[in-house]
């Protein structure tokens, strides 16, 4: 990763957003900044305010796909795949709520991966009319992986090596959704299985248009 990086920055409300690239590719940087703006606006209607002062896309010489506190570290080839703007990028941004703000207790399993997948990957597929296909593919992968004696409870999910279990069955099983409307706007509460309290209230309905890039 150690190399000079070219920074392009902007603001999304009170959040500084940045693209740190290995080459001066302002067109690519602009696409990621615009995408980040729109995803933050989308999450603003669903979640409490973004919990940190900044978020950055950082280009890595190695082909990684990591989500860290306030930034995502993606490989040079990966960030140039067009579908990353509507898959890995919003997924890693959302981890700044689930995982990097609301933390995971390792003893209870990495529940935040399933919830992040539910509120990013699955949500966007659903809003583009591809929800049934997304669920079918995810469950097929999970079924193939879990054949024989390889299945295990969600509470035992720990790392990327068991990600098929959590990304396949996690979005289906991770949360009980409670719709409440005592006041306006509508409130949505997620209760993670095995926890006694709702982990966070979500504002506004989940279904709305998703940005196209």
The structural domains of the chain, with segments of one domain joined by +, span: 6-94, 106-203
Looking only at the bridges linking them, the beta strands covering 175-180 and 187-192 are antiparallel
Question: Nearest-5° angle of CA 149, CA 171, CA 142?
Answer: 30
The stretch 4-18 carries a mean pLDDT of 96
- Residues 146-163: what's their mean pLDDT? 64
Give mean pLDDT, residues 164-175. Answer: 45
Query: For 154-172, what is the mean pLDDT?
Result: 52
Point out which residues pair with 55 in neighbouring strands.
17
Mean pLDDT of 18-36: 96
CA angle 55, 193, 126 (to 5 degrees): 55
Whole-angstrom distance between the N-terminal and C-terminal Cα of the chain? Answer: 27
Q: Which region among 15-19, 70-74, 94-98, 154-158 has the lowest average model confidence (pLDDT)?
A: 154-158
Highest mean pLDDT out of 97-101, 136-140, 147-151, 157-161? 97-101
Say if CB 89 and CB 43 are below 8 A apart: no
Tokens of 173: 């099983």
Helix locations, the chain, DSSP H: 26-46, 88-94, 111-117, 123-127, 131-145, 163-173
Q: Which CATH number fits domain 6-94: 3.30.2010.30, 3.90.70.10, 3.90.280.10, 3.50.50.60?
A: 3.30.2010.30
Residue 154 confidence (pLDDT): 66
Which of the four pLDDT bands, split at 50, 70 and 90, describes residue 117?
Answer: confident
Helix (H), strand (E) counts: the chain:
6, 8
Quote the pLDDT of residue 36: 96
Residue 114: pLDDT band with limits 50, 70, 90: confident
Give the pLDDT band of residue 137 (cuts 50, 70, 90): confident
pLDDT, position 2: 59
Kindly report the average pLDDT of the chain as a whole number. 76
Q: Note every long-range contact of 98-107, with CB atoms under 8 Å and residues 24 or more positions apart, other chains counting.
A: 99/67, 100/51, 100/67, 100/68, 100/69, 100/70, 101/51, 101/52, 102/199, 102/200, 106/158
């Amino acid at each position: 990763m150690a190399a000079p990086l070219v920074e392009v920055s902007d603001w999304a409300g009170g959040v500084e957003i940045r693209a740190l690239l290995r080459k001066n590719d302002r067109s690519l940087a602009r696409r990621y900044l615009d995408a980040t703006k729109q995803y933050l606006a989308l999450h603003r209607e669903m979640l409490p305010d973004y919990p940190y002062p900044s978020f950055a896309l950082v280009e890595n010489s190695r082909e990684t796909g990591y989500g860290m506190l306030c930034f995502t570290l993606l490989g040079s080839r990966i960030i140039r795949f067009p579908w990353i703007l509507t898959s890995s990028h919003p997924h890693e941004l959302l981890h700044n709520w689930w995982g990097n703000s609301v933390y995971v207790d390792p003893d209870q399993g990495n529940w935040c991966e399933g919830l992040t997948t539910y509120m990013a990957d699955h949500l966007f597929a659903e809003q583009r009319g591809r929800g049934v296909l997304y669920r079918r593919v995810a469950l097929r992968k999970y079924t193939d992986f879990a054949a024989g004696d390889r299945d295990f409870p969600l509470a035992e999910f720990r790392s990327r090596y068991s990600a098929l279990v959590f990304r396949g069955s996690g979005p289906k099983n991770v949360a009980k959704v409670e719709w409440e409307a005592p006041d306006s706007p509508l409130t949505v509460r997620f209760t993670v299985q095995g926890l006694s309290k709702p982990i966070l209230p979500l504002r506004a309905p989940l279904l709305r248009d998703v940005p196209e890039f």
